[in-house]
Structure 1
Amino acid sequence: MTDNPTMPGTGQLPALPPIFTPMLSGPSESPLDVALATIARGEDATGTVVVADRVDIADAAFILGPDRPLMDALKVVHVMMVAITDALGAIIPPQIAVTFGWPDRIMINGALAGGLRVTLPEGLGPDSAKSDPVPDWMILRVSLDVLGEPTDDIPGKPIERTSLMHEGCVDIAPTLIVESIARHFLNWVSKWEADGFDPIRNAWDGRADGYQEKIAFKLPGGSIKGRLLGLDEQGGLMVSRDGKKRQAPLRWLLHGPSWVAE
């Protein structure tokens, strides 16, 4: 476990597919802050990936240019989740199980190892679902604990944490993880655009933590409990309770990350 927020990295840019432009944030900088500053300069920042130059955590902010309404664009979180599964599957031992906790948590062997966070232009929040605008940009941030529980810039105390090292993955550089995630993310985005959301739903359901079991989630957007059935067509969570299907909408993402306790 490490609680040093300024642990240095290698100073080397990750080798990403040509569609992405890599940038580094310093050990004491937030990739999100650097990404927001890049957007604020008025540049076309779409495709920029800001990567934390740290060895203890794989932390990257992907600046995206959504071409679809907000509620549809939010499904990119699930696209990234299945990409993370493929990416980790290519570089960690096969006996280590990677699963998903809806809507934004990455689990390793049943414990929290990190998650995703969405940042949108000012004024776009949970109520934006009513008008469903097309965002000018979206930042999708991926954080995965490599060496131990990190201190980061999100208020609150992470809960039930593990790390790749604690699960037996040694000598895996965060840069390698980000490189693998970026490649698999690009593949899954292409599949999403070509074949729609169903392939992502099927892949997500197969990795859902507690799939077909009774679950109870209390998240920033609300709470839901029942037998986990998987994703609905909009990327929300479906459960069965008292003989009826109940749903938690994906817009709960906009209330803040579910994997950090206040």
Structure 2
Amino acid sequence: MSGPGFPPLFQGMATAGAAPFAVACSEARKGCDAGLVTYDVTLETLRAAIVFAPEVPLGAALVMLPICGIGFQNALGALAPPEVSVHLEWGGGIRVNGASCGALEIAASTDDAEEEPDWLVIGLTLSLWSDGTDSGSTPDVTTLMDEGCNEVDAVDLLEAWVRHTLVWINRWDDEGVKPVHDEWTGLAHGKGDTLAFGCDSGTFLGVDENFGMLLRSNDQTAIIPITRTLTEVP
């Protein structure tokens, strides 16, 4: 059986049970080409990661996190029933019909916002099927199956994620950050709610032009830089 098909310049690598995010970071450190897509698909979970080689400083390159989120929303939106809604958390969380269904994570060769990274990896983890436990005990956590997406094929979704992400990368490259900002803002989860990220909390107002998180507390607005979304390289 052939593996997933990806657009030109993207190459797939099945990880056979290993964590695709960790494998992608390892391959990136070895100097693999940008466009590597690592993946592991089981009945319960879709895990994948994409290696990028951005030619801009890290602070600008981290737009790949919202771009990959938009790409995922567009992909699932095209494959799922029309009543299924997908929203994105600032830190990478993915919400399906309001409940947590997965997340994106990001790592890079540097954490210096002014430095151009040698590589950047975005990972995706998505819950596909329930393990049979009582979902009533965790109403804020869901799976695609629980949200009526039984007919969504995980490999089709993986392929669509990469395709739609590429569309938005090209749009960012051609038009700048504004269309990405506008699209992501319309998909943001929790606007107007009290949210916490690390030690910071407040009313989530949205993001600034650099995708910094705006939190309002005690009549002051704090900006949490998008570099705070970086995870430790596995």
C-alpha distance in 1 between matches for 2:47 and 2:84: 21
Structure 1 residues 40 and 80, CA gap change in structure 2 (3 angstroms): closer
> Which 5+ residue runs of structure 1 have no aligned equivalent?
1-10, 150-157, 258-262
TM (normalized to structure 1)? 0.80
Equivalent pairs: percent with the same residue?
Answer: 27
CA 1:104–1:256 in 2, change beyond 3 Å: closer, same or farther? farther
CA RMSD in angstroms comes to: 2.2
> Which secondary structure state, in structure 2, belongs to the residue aligned with residue 166 of structure 1?
helix
Cα-to-partner distance string for 1:102-121 (whole Å, 9 max, x where unaligned): 12111111111111111222
The Cα shift of 1:182 comes to 0.6
Mapped partners of 1:104, 1:159: distance in 2: 20
Give the conservation status (yes or no) of the 8 Å contact 1:56–1:147: yes
TM-fit CA distance, 1:30:
1.2
- What whole-Å deviation, never above 9, does each CA across 1:58-79 have from its counterpart, x for those lacking one? 2111011011001111111011
Quote the offset at 1:255 in angstroms.
4.8
Letter in 2 for 1:39: A
- Cα displacement string for residues 28-73 of structure 1 (whole angstroms, at most 9, x for unaligned residues): 211123323433544x421110111423222111011011001111
For the residues of structure 2 that align with 1:148 and 1:133, how far apart are their CA atoms? 42
Query: C-alpha displacement at 1:194, in angstroms?
Result: 0.9
State how far apart, in whole Å, the 2-side matches of 1:135 and 1:188 are: 20
Equivalent residue, structure 1, for 2:65: 77
| Unpaired runs of at least 5, structure 2 | 132-137
Alpha-carbon separation, structure 1, partners of 2:119 and 2:142: 32
Q: TM-score, normalised by structure 2?
A: 0.89
C-alpha separation in 2, matches of 1:162 and 1:256: 26
Q: 2:87 and 2:162 mapped to 1: Cα distance? A: 19
Per-residue CA shift, 1:124-156, capped at 9, x if unaligned?
Answer: 23xx23xx210101111111111136xxxxxxx
Amino acid at match of 1:206: G
Aligned to 2:22: 33
Q: Hey, what does 1:3 align to over in structure 2?
A: none
- Aligned position for 1:200: 180
- 1:1-262 to 2 correspondences below 5 Å: 12-26=2-16, 28-42=17-31, 44-121=32-109, 124-125=110-111, 128-129=112-113, 132-148=114-130, 160-211=140-191, 213-219=192-198, 222-226=199-203, 228-255=204-231
Amino acid in the other structure paired with 2:189: D
Aligned length, in residue pairs: 227
Distance change in 2, residues 1:100/1:256 (3 Å): farther
8 Å Cα contact 2:99/2:139 also seen in 1: no
Classify the secondary structure of the residue corresponding to 1:178.
helix
Return the alpha-carbon distance in structure 1 between the equivalents of residues 13 and 139 of structure 2. 30
The equivalent residue for 1:154 is none
Contact 1:77 1:140 in 2 (8 A): yes
* Amino acid across the alignment from 1:224: S
